[in-house]
Amino acid sequence: MTIYPDFYQNFCCKANRCQHTCCAGWEIDIDAATAARYQQLIGPLGEAIRQNIVVADGTWQFRLGAGERCPFLQEDGLCELIRRADESILCDICTNHPRFFVTLGDYELAGVGLSCEKSCELLLEDVGMLSLRTETGEKLSLKELLQRLSLPVCDEDLCYQTGLASEDADFVLACMQKTEPIDEAWTAQLAQLRVEGMAAEAVVPQVFDRIYQYILYRALEHVPQYGLGTVLSYVQLNTDFIYLAYQLTGQLGESIRRWSEQIEYSTENVRILLDLLSGDVCH
């Protein structure tokens, strides 16, 4: 059975209205079936595609241009491939991004990754607790899903724990410092957070419980390897970091999106944090 967050069906790519295109800054792998189709595609479009794809470590990829832009990303922010054909021309990653699908027990957990600004907007449209739905339309709370997965939690486990102290913030930043930086701006922000510290007696917006729950939902796939306790610590730490970044910038959606680029979309950085927390060795 497939489970979806309450806003999943409302997702629609912002295309050229997006300020942070997913068609630049990432390697764009082409699945084998699509790569084979591209090799057989006739006409000028097929020729253009073949001139702009390469094999790297046995996987076909688009040949990125200046600024690590997809060669088919036009200056107006739209995709040349869709314009010249239709969405069926896209490879799997371009079709599905930012959607994710992971299997846990008898369930497939689906959602949208938060590196996408539209995903962040949908998450933040409601300040209430995260609501889930099954493919048949049944409504579930996160607690009910966890019960079905035989993962015992109390109500406290499902809420963001506020009252972050300065030593807690230092711990969060020390852990983040051990991850591989996505870019220089990430490193600069960590340094700035270390210098400026926390705002005194800041009010935590109610929506942080919802943010916490969505990060937990996304991280459930790691419970079989690391255990629920470590995953809950991972979720608290990452929500703490988003809170610190939000305090610094005042931009909640962008704080979530940048965190996601650095952590959620890096298998290596997720592993680093989970390993650190399972051993509790951040200093």
Q: How many domains does the chain have?
A: 2
Same-domain pairing of 84 and 161: no
Other C-beta atoms closer than 10 Å to the C-beta of 85 total: 15
Q: Does a structural domain hold residue 214?
A: yes
Q: Does a structural domain hold residue 261?
A: yes
SS (H, E, C) the chain: CEEEECCHHHCCCCHHHCCCCCCECCCCEECHHHHHHHHHCCHHHHHHHHCCEEEECCEEEECCCHHHECCCECCCCCEHHHHHCCHHHCCHHHHHCCEEEEEECCEEEEEECCCCHHHHHHHHCCCCCCEEEECCCCEEEHHHHHHHCCCCCCHHHHCCCCCCCHHHHHHHHHHHHCCCCCCHHHHHHHHHHHHHCCCCCCCCCCCHHHHHHHHHHHHHHHHHHHCHHHHHHHHHHHHHHHHHHHHHHCCHHHHHHHHHHHHHCCHHHHHHHHHHHHHCCCC
Same-domain pairing of 176 and 257: yes
Looking at 79, 96, 113, the residue that finishes a domain is 96
Q: What is the per-residue pLDDT for 199?
A: 67
Q: Does a structural domain hold residue 126?
A: no
Q: Which residues of the chain have pLDDT under 50?
A: 283
CA distances from 57 to 26, 33, 61 (A): 16, 17, 10
Peptide bond between residue 224 and the one before it cis (omega within 30 degrees of 0):
no
Same-domain pairing of 265 and 194: yes
Residue written as token pair 């650190």: 276
Other C-beta atoms closer than 10 Å to the C-beta of 66 total: 6
Same-domain pairing of 171 and 72: no
CA distances from 11 to 53, 79, 111, 174, 250 (A): 29, 18, 10, 35, 25
Looking at 96, 129, 144, the residue that finishes a domain is 96
Looking at 72, 96, 120, the residue that finishes a domain is 96
Q: What is the per-residue pLDDT for 280?
A: 57
Q: What is the per-residue pLDDT for 283?
A: 44
**CA dihedral sign of residues 221, 222, 228, 230:** negative
Q: What is the per-residue pLDDT for 25?
A: 86
Same-domain pairing of 90 and 173: no
d(CA 89, CA 41): 10
Range of the structural domain that residue 198 is part of: 157-279
